Amino acid sequence: MIERVSFENDYNTGCHPRILEALLQTNTERTSGYGLDKYCVEASFLIKKACHAPEADVHFLVGGTQVNLIVIAGILKPWQGVIAAETGHINVHEAGAIEATGHKILVVESQDGLLTAEAIDRYCHSYHDDPTAEHMVQPGMIYISQTTELGTVYHLRELQKIRQVADRWGLTLFVDGARLASALAIEESQIDLPVLAELTDVFSIGGTKCGALFGEAVVIINDSLKKDFRSLIKQKGGLLAKGRLLGIQFRELFRDQLYMEIGQHENDMAAVLASRFSACGFEFYAPPLSNQLFVIMDEREEASFLERAVFERITVLEDGRRVCRFVTSFSTEMTEIDTLFTK
């Protein structure tokens, strides 16, 4: 059997060669543990600089579910819940991680994975107008992802409106940036790192899906959320002993434009992939924008692609057609796309 090419996800290889090289170069050095080393300090500095947010706190965690459960558990009051889209990662694919910290996810209607400021506002109105509100879970936070689980992105205009809604109802705004590199490469969204630092209370910068071996940076903007955060990370099992591994990786991603370049590469490869699918007459389940494509195909077509490639089937539509996900990563090559479309 021929080796199939893989568009299964953006974490199916190791890391970007430059990151590997940095790990090699530093392997024998001795440093303090738990992120109290010079590499974490420097990576933190570089990220704050890239965000135009010198006052931010930056923490480095290993994985995305860890980030979400720690940030959310750290911020919400015991009687509060977090607003999310039905497709939100925390609502579907974290095995109840948020609820395990004691908090309900308050599902608000969404479109293509995107919440709207209006829907959030309506939800909060309805909570606060309800005479039995104190018997219900109080919204305390808004969780959105950039890019979303469906590969779509928020536009600056919408993010500004969501910020206003957050302020109106006293909600914390948290952006899950597990795939932020890809999102940042979409210029028409008009959302760059300084914008995130300006409009959110806290956001994450994904490494795992953006060229690192592992690692997510949490950027805390809101002063009131900064205190004792490392204790919470430790409590939830998120404080890496050899924490410098995170610092070394993020230093490499942010000491020049590597993080942005990886996002651009992912999107470029996805654009090629999308145009090939379109050229073959395929339609998309959600608009193709970032490094995840959701292609609608019938059973026969799916089987045919499966001969040459690994990818995930996300769901089966009522008419029997499949929604299949193709993901590009820092290491996706044109030849793999060619192989996928070889007859």
Residues 286-325 that bind a second copy (CB under 8 A): 310, 312
Kindly tell me which residue out of 58, 115, 239, 274 binds a second copy, with binding defined by CB under 8 A.
Answer: 239
Q: CB of 335: closest distance to a second copy in angstroms?
A: 13
271 within 8 A of 332, measured Cβ to Cβ: no
Shorter beta-carbon distance to a second copy: residue 92 or 317? 92
Name the one range near a second copy by CB under 8 A: 48-56, 238-246, 251-259, 291-299: 238-246
The contact mask relative to a second copy for 192-231 (x = CB under 8 A, - = no) is: ----------------xx---xx-------------x-xx
Name the one range near a second copy by CB under 8 A: 5-13, 51-59, 158-166, 284-292: 5-13
Residue keyed to tokens 């950039």:
146
Kindly tell me which residue out of 42, 99, 192, 261 binds a second copy, with binding defined by CB under 8 A.
Answer: 99
81 within 8 A of 171, measured Cβ to Cβ: no
Question: How many chain residues bind a second copy (CB under 8 A)?
Answer: 76
- Told to check if 12 binds a second copy by CB under 8 A, we report yes
Kindly tell me which residue out of 1, 2, 54, 132 binds a second copy, with binding defined by CB under 8 A.
Answer: 132
Name the one range near a second copy by CB under 8 A: 12-20, 44-52, 189-197, 292-300: 12-20
- 71-90 residues in contact with a second copy (CB under 8 A) are 73-74, 77-79, 81
- Told to check if 96 binds a second copy by CB under 8 A, we report yes
Q: CB of 140: closest distance to a second copy in angstroms?
A: 10
Which residue in 109, 88, 108, 110 sits closest to 98, CA to CA? 88
Kindly tell me which residue out of 117, 144, 199, 245 binds a second copy, with binding defined by CB under 8 A.
Answer: 245
Give the Å distances, CA to CA, from 72 to 96, 102, 178, 181, 230: 13, 10, 15, 22, 14
Tokens describing residue 230:
């490392």
Kindly tell me which residue out of 1, 2, 95, 279 binds a second copy, with binding defined by CB under 8 A.
Answer: 95
Q: CB of 328: closest distance to a second copy in angstroms?
A: 12
Which residue in 259, 254, 330, 223 sits closest to 40, CA to CA? 254
Q: CB of 15: closest distance to a second copy in angstroms?
A: 7
Name the one range near a second copy by CB under 8 A: 25-33, 249-257, 260-268, 295-303: 25-33
What distance in Å separates the CA atoms of residue 110 and residue 151, rounded to the nearest whole number?
Answer: 14
- Told to check if 185 binds a second copy by CB under 8 A, we report no
Shorter beta-carbon distance to a second copy: residue 111 or 231? 231
The contact mask relative to a second copy for 159-178 (x = CB under 8 A, - = no) is: --------------------
